[in-house]
Amino acid sequence: MRVVFIEDVPGVAMAGEVKKVADGYGRNYLIPRKLAVLADARATQIVEAQERRKARLEAEIEAEMRELAGKLEGLEIVVRAKAGAKERLYGSITNADIADELSKSAGLEVDKRKIELEKPIQEIGSYDIPIRLTKDIMPRIKLNIVGEEEVVEDKEKAESKPKKEKKARKAPKAKKATKEAPAAEETEKGG
């Protein structure tokens, strides 16, 4: 039996291929599941039309990706993050953070899975980040990570510690007072 494959069947054929298969396999599996149709003139025309439509759609997507790549290539974005000693970040910058910043600053929507980071960035600095839009189109952007200054005054830290100590001192005195009160009540009742 000769059939034209409508869908890809792993290990058997790709969509659009005309192949000879066992009669039972074609009749009982491929045709009922709409993976293939009997090979005739009409079926081959349908498959060719699908291939043309698919090629046209791929060309449109390719053109859109090339346009996006032109906008992204060489683009510089700045991300602010809290940093500690030796310019290490509190946390890290991930693909999602870069995609959000691209959306905010440049107005370009890029899927976070297309941003290729070997590992999350954990230090302040300048990085060259590749973005794989398609198999062949891979623009690079420049990412600058700048540390935010954490404003904490030493006075606030110094004032907060004595308050905690004073509360700790008051608590034991309150417990002594409650223990003495019942003892005083008992002596009044007994006397």
Q: How far apart are the first and last CA of the chain?
A: 114
| Better-predicted residue by pLDDT, 133 or 48 | 133
What average pLDDT does this structure show over 18-40? Answer: 91
The model carries a pTM of 0.56
For 173-185, write each residue's pLDDT tens digit: 544 444 455 554 5
DSSP 12: T
Domain count, the chain: 2
**DSSP 3-state assignment of 110?**
coil
For residue 186, the model assigns a pLDDT of 52
Residues β-bridged to residue 142: 76, 128
Q: Which of 156, 127, 157, 130 is nearest to 142 (CA)?
A: 127
For residue 160, the model assigns a pLDDT of 53
Q: With 0-12 CB in 10 A as exposed, 13-18 as middle and 19+ as buried, what is 97? A: buried
Q: Residue 144 falls within a domain, yes or no? A: yes
Q: Which of 64, 89, 104 is the last residue of a domain?
A: 64
Q: Residue 180 falls within a domain, yes or no? A: no
pLDDT band per the 50, 70, 90 thresholds, residue 106: confident
Calculated CA dihedral for residues 14, 18, 21, 23, nearest 10 degrees: 120
For residue 182, the model assigns a pLDDT of 52
CA-to-CA distance for 160 and 151, rounded, in angstroms? 16
Residues 135 and 106 grouped into a single domain: yes
CB of 89 within 8 A of CB of 83? yes
**Largest Cα span, the chain:** 118
Give the pair of three-digit tokens for residue 137.
């189109």
Residues 59 and 127 grouped into a single domain: no
Q: Residue 174 falls within a domain, yes or no? A: no
Give the pair of three-digit tokens for residue 181.
């009160």
Structural domain that includes position 45:
2-64
Neighbouring C-beta atoms of residue 156, cutoff 10 Å:
8
For 134-173, write each residue's pLDDT tens digit: 888 899 999 999 887 643 333 344 445 544 444 445 545 5
Residues 140 and 79 grouped into a single domain: yes
With a pLDDT cut of 90, the percent of the chain lying above it is 27
- What residues contact 70, with CB distance under 8 A and at least 6 apart? 139
